[in-house]
């Protein structure tokens, strides 16, 4: 029995059939060392099941140690499992996941597959895109989540859309339970917890306008 | 568990726009879809509404025991099967002045429709005590299912005495060392079965007749200052976190002045769930009523969508 039910698979088949255009590349970085990555196997399994649903989803699985050069290229820094989304021609829009996107978070994976298949254009208001374009320094947005948090996927998607809008910006979901030290470092005790350039920017679910303003203000002061 | 809900391209007109993806909204979408109407559900977070924060639901007929988010996903899939579409965004404004209604979304989209069903639900009521805002996200939480994991092996306070409070206390008791329930009265308001279960848990302790005066801590929650209403005694409890479940306030702010509301901001409707504005309905927790449950929300969503289908598309 797979991780996705037959109904899920049929649902996704219909959805991808209707909404996908070009290929999407998904890179997964994993480690076979269970003590280092409890959820790597299941991450690879669930993404494999998704990739089987539509030929246009191209999955590439790399070992964090054996494929060091590629891991460095995408700035994975040993954090596994890591997931990177690329467009058909291999364009990196800075969209990342660290830890397994399970529970509510998995819906953002589906959204990103559709988005990257359609050129990964940011689904944001023009006003937000204008504000984000002001960011002219390398910026990393981390959204700490738990899989049981219903407010988190929206925050993750907003961060990912912001990354798609500006090549200076990378945005990642971080599953807090899988990275306790990383979470402790930023004092995460409620999610979504948003870190911008290594400092806590805000905690909680914000609508697009406020989210964008907080990120821009945090970077540009 | 993997929730696979995805989105299709959003159009700019639907027969029915449902604002809010809780049980009321999803039931309305199901009924609208079956009536042959095009329907968009706009949801600010994951679909399911407050069910998403409910570990176990055991009073929705037909399901002796089901996880809240799972019931949410089932309702969504059911509505989608009959053509309803879902979109994640926050509604920031609405125009109900014409026959065609418009809602404005935070992602810049504007959606028009003949009928709007408001099922925006309700949010957690705040304590409004010193330290609550400052330490929010630093040990102050309103969502046990979201944040409970961060308090494994620790001691937390939980404020409230209703069904939600006891459901959260029971959820937390399986994760943390000790849950101190702080309640303003000398007995719980929660349903009997939940009370019994909470009293049986050895690591749930009750502090009766007491209210929270202040939450203290420099960088994270360290102490909760509690006053016993009967004796006037002030106690400081050392805890690592505090969960607040003292009821809800309606998510109706953006509709103020647009539809009639009661003194608490809940939307007033007639027996068909229609507001004073023709073609604008309310269903679920945002509506002025007594019993706020999944079962009442879905009933109201069904009534609203059926009436709308008959009245405006018949």
Interface pTM (ipTM) of the complex?
Answer: 0.90
Sort out which chain A residues have CB atoms less than 8 A from B69's CB and list them: 103-104, 148, 150
Mean pLDDT on B146-152: 95
Give the one of B92, B138, B145 whose C-beta lies nearest to A187's C-beta: B138
Question: What is the rounded average pLDDT of the residues B263-288?
Answer: 98
Task: Answer whether B121's CB lies under 8 Å from B205's CB.
Answer: no
| Cα A161 to Cα A178: distance, rounded to the nearest angstrom | 24
pLDDT attached to residue B7: 84
Mean pLDDT within B182-208: 97
Place of tokens 């206390």: B169
Kindly state whether residues A99 and A134 are assigned to the same domain.
Answer: no
As beta bridge partners, residue B250 has B122
Compute the distance between CA of residue A195 and CA of residue B223 in angstroms, rounded to an integer. Answer: 26
Please, what's the b/e burial string for B53-67 (b: 16 or more CB within 10 A of its CB; e: otherwise)?
bbbebeebeeeeebb
Q: Do residues B239 and B134 share a domain?
A: yes
Whether the per-residue pLDDT at A1 is higher than 70: the answer is no
**Domain span holding position B96:** 13-123+248-313
Is the CB of residue A49 less than 8 Å away from at least one CB of chain B?
no
Indicate the average pLDDT of chain B.
96
Q: Is the N-terminal amide bond of A24 cis, ω within 30° of 0? A: no
Span A166-195, mean pLDDT? 97
Do A135 and A213 have their domain in common?
A: yes
Within this chain, do residues A157 and A104 fall inside the same structural domain, yes or no? no
The model's pLDDT over B126-143, given as tens digits with 9 standing for 90+, comes to 999 999 999 999 999 999
B134 with B239, same domain? Answer: yes
Are B182 and B112 within one domain? no
> Are residues B275 and B187 part of one domain?
no
Question: Of the candidates B193, B226, B244, which is a domain's last residue?
Answer: B244
Q: Tell me the pLDDT tens digit for each residue of B67-99.
A: 999 999 999 999 999 999 999 999 999 999 999
The angle that helices B163-173 and B192-200 make with each other, rounded to 10 degrees, is 30
Residue finishing a domain among A98, A118, A138: A118
| Residue B143 annotated among the catalytic residues of the structure | yes
Instruction: Identify whether residues A72 and A132 lie together within a single domain.
Output: no
Do residue B88 and residue A15 have CB atoms under 8 angstroms apart?
no
pLDDT tens figures, B207-260: 999 999 999 999 999 999 999 999 999 999 999 999 999 999 999 999 999 999
pLDDT tens-digit readout, A32-90? 999 999 999 999 999 999 999 999 999 999 999 999 999 999 999 999 999 999 999 99
> What residues of B are in contact with residue A147 (Cβ under 8 Å)?
1
Residue with tokens 């879905």: B298
A146/B2 Cβ within 8 A:
no
The whole-number pLDDT of residue B98 equals: 96
| CATH code assigned at A78 | 3.40.30.10
**Looking at the structure, do residues A113 and A182 belong to the same domain, yes or no?**
no
Catalytic, out of B146, B177, B196, B262: B146
Residue A203 domain boundaries: 122-221
Active site residue B39: no
Q: How many domains does chain A have?
A: 2
pLDDT reading at A115 higher than 80: yes
Residue B6 lies in a domain: no
The chain B residues in contact with chain A (CB within 8 A) are 1-9, 44-46, 48, 52-53, 69, 77, 80, 88-90, 92, 106-108, 136-141, 143, 145-147, 149-151, 219-220, 241
> How many separate domains does chain B show?
2
Is there a contact between A40 and A46 (Cβ–Cβ < 8 Å)? Answer: no
- End position of a domain, from candidates A91, A118, A145: A118
Lowest mean pLDDT across A98-102, A204-208, B11-15, B178-182:
A204-208
Shared domain check, A146 and A113: no
Q: Residue B75's domain is classified under what CATH number?
A: 3.50.50.60
Q: What are B35-52's pLDDT values in tens digits?
A: 999 999 999 998 999 999
């Amino acid at each position: 029995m797979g991780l996705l039910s037959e109904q899920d698979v049929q649902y996704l088949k219909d959805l991808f059939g209707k909404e996908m255009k070009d290929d999407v590349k998904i890179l997964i970085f994993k480690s076979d060392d269970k003590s280092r990555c409890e959820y790597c196997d299941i991450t690879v399994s669930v993404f494999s099941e998704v990739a089987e649903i539509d030929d246009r989803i191209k999955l590439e699985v790399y070992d964090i140690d054996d494929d060091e050069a590629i891991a460095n290229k995408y700035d994975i820094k040993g954090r596994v499992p890591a997931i990177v989304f690329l467009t058909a021609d291999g364009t990196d829009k800075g969209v990342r996941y660290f830890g397994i996107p399970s529970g509510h978070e998995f819906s953002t994976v589906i959204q990103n597959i559709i988005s990257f298949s359609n050129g990964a254009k940011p689904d944001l208001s023009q006003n937000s895109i204008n504000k984000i374009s002001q960011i002219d320094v390398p910026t990393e947005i981390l959204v700490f989540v738990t899989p049981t948090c219903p407010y988190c996927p929206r925050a993750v998607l907003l961060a990912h859309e912001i990354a798609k809008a500006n090549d200076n910006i990378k945005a990642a979901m971080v599953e807090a339970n899988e990275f306790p030290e990383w979470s402790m470092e930023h004092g995460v005790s409620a999610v979504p917890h948003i870190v911008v350039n290594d400092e806590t920017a805000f905690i909680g679910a914000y609508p697009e306008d406020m989210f964008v303003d907080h990120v821009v203000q945090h970077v540009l002061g | 568990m993997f929730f696979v809900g995805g989105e299709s391209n959003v159009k700019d007109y639907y027969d029915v726009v449902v604002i809010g993806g809780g049980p009321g909204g999803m039931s309305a979408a199901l009924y609208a879809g079956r009536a042959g109407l095009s329907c968009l559900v706009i949801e600010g977070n994951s679909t399911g509404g407050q069910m998403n924060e409910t570990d176990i639901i055991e009073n929705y007929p037909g399901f002796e025991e089901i996880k809240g988010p799972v019931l949410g996903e089932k309702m969504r899939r059911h509505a989608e099967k009959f053509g309803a579409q879902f979109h994640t965004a926050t509604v920031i404004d609405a125009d109900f002045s014409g026959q065609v209604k418009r809602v404005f979304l935070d992602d810049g989209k504007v959606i028009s429709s003949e009928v709007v069903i408001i099922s925006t639900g309700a949010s957690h009521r705040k304590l409004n005590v010193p330290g609550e805002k400052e330490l929010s996200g630093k040990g102050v939480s309103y969502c046990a299912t979201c944040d409970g994991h961060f308090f494994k092996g620790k001691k937390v306070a939980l404020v409230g005495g209703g069904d939600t409070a006891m459901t959260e206390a029971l959820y937390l008791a399986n994760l943390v060392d000790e849950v101190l329930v702080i309640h303003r009265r000398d007995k719980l308001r929660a349903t009997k079965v939940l009370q019994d279960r909470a009293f049986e848990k050895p690591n749930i302790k009750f502090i009766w007749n007491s209210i929270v005066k202040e939450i203290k801590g420099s960088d994270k929650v360290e102490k909760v200052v509690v006053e016993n209403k009967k004796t006037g005694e002030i106690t400081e409890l050392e805890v690592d976190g505090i969960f607040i479940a003292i009821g809800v306030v309606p998510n109706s702010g953006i509709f103020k002045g647009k539809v009639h509301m009661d003194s608490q901001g809940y939307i007033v409707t007639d027996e068909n769930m229609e507001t004073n504005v023709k073609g604008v309905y309310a269903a679920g927790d945002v509506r002025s009523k007594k019993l706020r449950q999944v079962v009442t929300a879905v009933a109201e969503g069904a009534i609203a969508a059926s009436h709308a289908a008959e009245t405006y598309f018949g």
